[in-house]
Amino acid sequence: MEAAALSLMNAVPLLAGVPLWAVTLLLIVAAAAVILVFALTFEGVGSLVLRKVAGDIQARIGPNRVGPNGILQFLADGVKLVLKEDIIPANADRLLFKLAPYFVFVGSFAAFVVVPFGVGLIAADLNIGIYYVMAVTSLVVIGVLLAGWASNNKWALLGGMRAAAQIVSYEIPVGMALIPAVLIAGSLSLQDIVRSQGGLLGIFGWNLFHNPFTFFSFFLYFTAAQAETNQTPFDLPEAESELVSGYNVEYSGIRFGLFFLAEFGDMFIVAALATACFLGGWNVPFFHVGTLPWIWGNLLSLGVFLAKAFTMVLIMMWVRWTLPRLRVDQLMRMSWKYLVPLTFVNLLGVSLWLLVFKGKGIPGMIASLFG
């Protein structure tokens, strides 16, 4: 950020007298605001799309009252959530009860900071990008556990316990399934990982097609990540038909809204990571966006990235309205007995591949055959 602030100060003579830290702070706030606006817009529109998709899949119409074809439904929902009475149960632990939604929301929102939206569109290109995402999204588990405990409701407690067990269990396969992308790029930075998938191979430059192990990694990641973010068929912490609504059962108004927004935020983060680590991120096939003027290059890469990410989000919605829910013991078994060993084997496979073939993937080797 400081470097960006410096270049900004050089470019705009008006800022010459302002201290460096102030400009940096200004930039940080601006970046956070932009991301917050994007996240909230995505979460709002996402909820509408989710309901429309649900309508299509379930042979019904979906929201169609607010605005033309119901496209303003999410605004109405948002207004409703803000205006609703904020109830805190009499015997709840008031402090923790109020604190819990922020943990969940921050955990989900902070991950947006390192999402590589385009060539130059990233709030903070941390050199530990993936590690940061994994760490920050772990905040969610604290929030969910707090919410379950502080509500003083047995169903909420069960939901919180389930969520804690589930998120902790699935974090391991998620992390292990992402490491192949790190190995190939040789960097934890998400921008570096995306760049490593560019080049003249087009979509075959993607990590997805790098070698058979990365191909499986993608699916392992996607499955495990669905579970880590409590999406159907792994939505046990919420499990409406079993736990009524799980850890957020006692929440109302905007506190519930924060949980709700975080859920959609998580959905996008999963899709964005899958896109960045396996589907080539913002790379435009057979085309080097860096050669374009800054603004066009960024717009084009942003469009490509969002198209890929939204496709993944749609797939998640499709899965959500198709599959039933696992039982809690089956869920744990799936993680520890299948996903964890599989991701480890897979990681080993990728490492060996990179060692034996000197970092080259199958498409790369084929391409070098033809010069």
Please give the residue ranges that form the binding site for other proteins (CB under 8 A).
54, 57-60, 154-155, 158, 161-162, 232-233, 235-236, 239-244, 321-330
The smaller minimum CB distance to other proteins, of residues 148 and 363, is found at: 148
The smaller minimum CB distance to other proteins, of residues 153 and 191, is found at: 153
The smaller minimum CB distance to other proteins, of residues 115 and 236, is found at: 236
Least CB distance to other proteins at residue 92 (A): 18
Residues contacting residue 131 through CB under 8 Å, at least 6 positions apart: 188
Tell me the longest C-alpha to C-alpha distance in the chain. 73
Least CB distance to other proteins at residue 249 (A): 11
- Given phi > 0 = left and psi -120 to 50 = alpha, else beta, which region is 358? left
Report the distance separating Cα 316 and Cα 347, nearest Å: 25
The smaller minimum CB distance to other proteins, of residues 59 and 369, is found at: 59
Least CB distance to other proteins at residue 332 (A): 10
Angle at 149 between CA 145 and CA 150, to 5 degrees: 115
Least CB distance to other proteins at residue 33 (A): 36
The smaller minimum CB distance to other proteins, of residues 267 and 334, is found at: 334
Report the distance separating Cα 180 and Cα 217, nearest Å: 7
Nearest Cα to Cα of residue 350 among 172, 221, 212, 237: 212
The smaller minimum CB distance to other proteins, of residues 31 and 57, is found at: 57
Least CB distance to other proteins at residue 233 (A): 6
Q: How far is CA 18 from CA 12, 30, 130, in A?
A: 11, 17, 34
Least CB distance to other proteins at residue 237 (A): 12
64 φ, ψ (degrees, to nearest 5): -150, 20
The smaller minimum CB distance to other proteins, of residues 127 and 322, is found at: 322
Burial bucket for residue 312 (CB in 10 Å: 0-12, 13-18, 19+):
buried
Report the distance separating Cα 118 and Cα 298, nearest Å: 5
- What is the SS3 assignment for 124? coil
Q: Which helix (H) or strand (E) holds 273?
A: helix 253-278
Angle at 124 between CA 123 and CA 128, to 5 degrees: 145
The smaller minimum CB distance to other proteins, of residues 17 and 324, is found at: 324
| Cα separation of the two ends of the chain | 41
Least CB distance to other proteins at residue 137 (A): 23
Least CB distance to other proteins at residue 223 (A): 12
